[in-house]
Every structure is written in C-alpha cells, then in structure tokens.
Amino acid sequence: MPMSTLASDAAPARPVGRRPYETRRTFAIISHPDAGKTTLTEKLLLSGGAIEMAGAVRSKGNGRRAKSDWMDIEKNRGISVTSSVMTFEKEGINFNLLDTPGHSDFSEDTYRTLTAVDSAIMVIDAAKGIEAQTKKLFEICRLRDIPIITFVNKVDREGRDPFELLDEIEAELALSVAPMVWPVGQGGLFKGCYDLTKNDFLFAGSDRTQHYAGGLDDPALKAALGESAYAGFRDAAELAAEGYADFDPEAYRQGHLTPVVFGSALQNFAVDRLMDFIAEHAPEPRPQPSDKGPVDPSEDKVSGFVFKVQANMDPKHRDRVAFVRFCSGHFKRGMKLDHVRSGKALAVSNPIYFVAQERALTEEAYAGDVIGIPNHGTLQVGDTLTEGENFRFTGLPAFAPEVLRRVRLEDSMKLKQMRRGLEDLAQEGLVQVFRPTIGSDWIVGVVGPLQLDVLASRIAGEYKADVTFEPVQYNVARWIRSDSEQKLKDFIRENTMNVVRDRDGWPVYLCKDDWDLRYITGKHKDIAFDATREIVQGGDGGK
C-alpha cells in the first residue's frame, strides 16, 4: 500500500521476514479538549513525512489550517468534531493514525473509531493532569483491552510536578506507569527531554539530539546542562527510574502498564521518540470479534468492517466515503467483496487512503489498514465485507441520545434538501434521526448540544437548507424489543404517540424523564428498554 507521499506509486519497504500485516500500526489519539491532540497529530504526520508543514490549531496564517481538521466548523472553532484517518509510512512501518474528537459531545464517533484500532496514545496536559473526557475515553479503551501510551504534553510551559502526574495516572486509571522520556526543567527553565532508556538528550531550542554513553553519570551531560540544572534533573531521573515499574512489553500490550513520554507537541519534543515507540512496541493487527468467533489477521481471505461513514468530504462531488478497517487477507484494487448485509457482491474499483482531506488511490491493503470506499449509500456503519464468507463483525455500538429536538425548516421549498441532509448525516453517525408514527415532524437525537450546531452548519453548507431546533416534551429515548413479537406490536400500538423509528427502522420509545421510564418498564416486564444497541448491518428494524 503506497503511503510515503501522496504522489508515490512504489510499495513501501518492508522489514525482511515479516508478513505484510505485521508492519501495520493502527492507533488512535485520545484526550480531553485542548490537551494538544490535534497538534500532536500534525507533528506525527510531519515526522512521518506525510506533510511538509504542521499546522497548529492556534497558530496564524497558513499554519493555522490543521491538516487533520478539514471541516469549516473545525477550522473556525479550533476543535475536532469528526474522526480523521491519516496513513503514512516510515522506515518500513505503515502507520494508520485515527485522530478522534476530544469533545464529549462527539464521544459516540470516538467510541466507534476505537473499535478499529489496536492501540492508543493518551495525551495529557502537563498543567491539568487527568481530565474528565480523558478518563471516559480511557475506560472505553480498557473495555476493549486497547494498550495505551501516555504522552504528557506541554512540558515546555509551567505545569505540575512530573511525579505528581505519574502518581495521578496510577491512582485515577489503576495503571502501572513506566517513565520513558523525562523533562529537564519546566516552563522558563525547560532545557529539553532525556530518554531514560536510550540515554539520549533532546535539546530545547534546537533539533539536536545527543547520545550520552555514560548515561546520567556522563560528565558531558553535566557540562551541557549546567551544574544547577543537572543536579536536580539527575536526582529526579534516578527516582523516576527506580520508583516506578520497568517497561514490560507484555504488560503494556495487555493493558496493565502505560509507558509515559514527557514532551511538547508544539515544540516537537519527544514526538519522534513517541513514533519510534509505536513502531517498535505497539501491537500489530489483533484478532477482531465476529459472530463466528475471532477473525485472525493471518487468515488468507479478505475481511473488513465499516466503522465510519463520512458524507461530503469533497463537496464538489457530493461523495460518501465508507471507512473500512481490514481484518484479514490481502485486498487488491478491483476485487469483488461480498456485502454481507445485502448479500450482493461489491466491486471496489476506487479504494483510497487519506492524509486528512487529501486522498490517493491505493492498489492494495492488508489487515490493519484503513481505506476509504466511495459509494452512494450502499455501505453503512457496521457493514461487513468478506471474500465469499458469511459472518459479521461485532462490537460497534449505538448509544441512546441525551438531547432530543424537533427539526424546523426555515424554507419549506427546501424540504428535499433537508431530508437528504438528515438521512446522510444520520448514516454518518453524527446524529440520530427519528420518524414519528403520527405526524411529519422529524426529531433528532444527539449526545450533546454542540452536535446540533454542527448539524445546522453542515446542512446549511452542504445541502443549502437552513434548519433550527425546538424543544420537545421528551428527554429520554430507549430502543425497545421483546422475545414476543406480538407483545412488542401490542406495546407499539398502545403507545403510538411515544414510539418513533430510527434510521434503520428500529422502534424507539420516547418519554419525559427517568421517572416515566421507570414507570413504563415496571408496567411492561416483557419489553426490554435498551440504552445501547449494537449496529448490525443496518438491521431489519424489528419490523
């Protein structure tokens, strides 16, 4: 799979003796908003040779346009509101980097993205430590046994004591920590970062890295740092090395230990070390769960699943791209794959890979790779593609929305555009759209109110229809099901005003609050009210 530059047609070099999938590293970056996740993403792309200039979210001029943030609302607000996929190659290792939204209002998109990765980088602000969204995303990683590397960012600014941060990680996340790269000073006294495992010093204010064969006792290191800075650093580094766990690759891969790298994404400190660590220690593609058991990446037949759909990445073409994570086999451009949900064959003639919004055709892909398949609505989140086999991948969830609103169209002549926009963005997973049994008003459900701003912005920009949102009498939504088809039909008939259908046709019960929900669940013991449901091939909607 060509990854080194957008113009490259040559396949990347591969370390001798490795199977192609063993050179893949598919990972996500997770953090609380403003911890520096997008800036780190840019610097990793820069380090990998994927871009020529990194754009910081809050910089000026051309540099302000972060490559991983391509929507207008992302550029204007300086936040990530959708997951980006970026692919590049360095020294024979193929990296698939999935940048996720940090804002909690977009956690559903993040959760689905995390089903497609094998490891994650957790970014922590050196001044703030573990924040609320960081902890939530960590718990999601723990549920899926995703190994985590911790990058403590912004050490070139005033921040908390490194030992305090390490202790907080151990206490809050119940993880052993293994310091790998240690800061020398902070804020105005910051002099650089020291690699505790390789005895390399990364000097602040320059691109120079110096190796000290004598380690912490090397006289040349003392001379480079100066007497006062050296004394404090040496004591701290020795305590860090002795007081915390040694790095254990197996414990890291099992999710019990997190290696910790202190650095600065903005100033490009320790970013190369982070990338080297991913290449050397992050897991290669792992077996993926399916309804027929785990699918091993070494299997010969091609298989993969759609974890994300993005509409209108190129507004000129009104395109829809399905992001597919391959789980096994050797995919080649032009192959026909079975679309398990429809039972039909799908010819994949224009597979693409990404550096954010820039794209290029790819001729092949292996387990661990993420490619985009342009389509006109054929592929949906949760779909499985196989090479002649009949199974489906599992584990992609949908969550009950926490905010419900009625959609109001400003210009009734734009009804068709509004409907198309709602349906497209619901398939993309940005919002959930519900159709009432009685009446024509559409209801949208979101995790947080910022999603409503994004929804209105995108419908206006991409579909040329202006919409607003009004409160409804409902605040709680639950998917309903029953072992008895007749009892489910009877319940729906008796509660017509409260039952709507989601985009896949599944029945959803809406009620005013948790008290109403407890009352109705107590009254109807044969009906299950689910806060989550698994996205399985679009489903038959329980019709």
How far apart CA 302 and CA 101 sit, in angstroms, is: 30
Amino acid at 37: K
115 belongs to an annotated ligand binding site: no
Amino acid identity, position 187: G
Strands 24-31 and 93-99: parallel
Residue 408: both structure tokens together: 């109001």
Residue 37 counted as an annotated binding residue: yes
263 is in an annotated binding site: no
Does 222 appear as a known binding residue?
no
99 annotated as ligand-binding: yes
525 annotated as ligand-binding: no
35 known ligand binder: yes
> SS3 letters for 499-520?
EEECCCCCEEEEECCHHHHHHH
Number of neighbouring beta carbons within 10 Å of residue 343: 8
Q: Is 32 annotated among the ligand-binding residues?
A: yes
**Residue 419 to residue 416: CA distance in whole angstroms:** 5
Enter the tokens of residue 167.
């202790």
Consult the annotation and say whether 36 binds a ligand. Answer: yes
CA distances 30 to 44, 149, 150, 394, 463, Å, are: 14, 10, 10, 22, 31
369 is in an annotated binding site: no
> Both tokens of residue 393?
């991948």
Q: 505, 543 in Cβ contact below 8 A? A: yes
Closest Cα partner for 456 from 466, 446, 470, 464?
466
The label of the residue with tokens 């990998």 reads: 48
* Residue carrying the six token digits 């399916």: 290
Residue 155 among known ligand-binding residues: yes
Residue 102 annotated as binding site: yes
Is 103 annotated in a binding site? The answer is yes
In one letter, which amino acid is 416? K
Is 211 within any annotated ligand binding site? no
Task: Tell me: is residue 524 an annotated ligand-binding position.
Answer: no
Widest Cα–Cα separation across the chain: 83
Compute φ and ψ for 223, nearest 5 degrees: -70, -35
What are the distances in angstroms from CA 502 to CA 144, 243, 511?
27, 53, 15
- Determine the Cα–Cα distance for residues 171 and 113; give it in Å rounded to an integer: 27
The binding site for GTP comprises 31-38, 99-103, 153-156
The binding site comprises 31-38, 99-103, 153-156
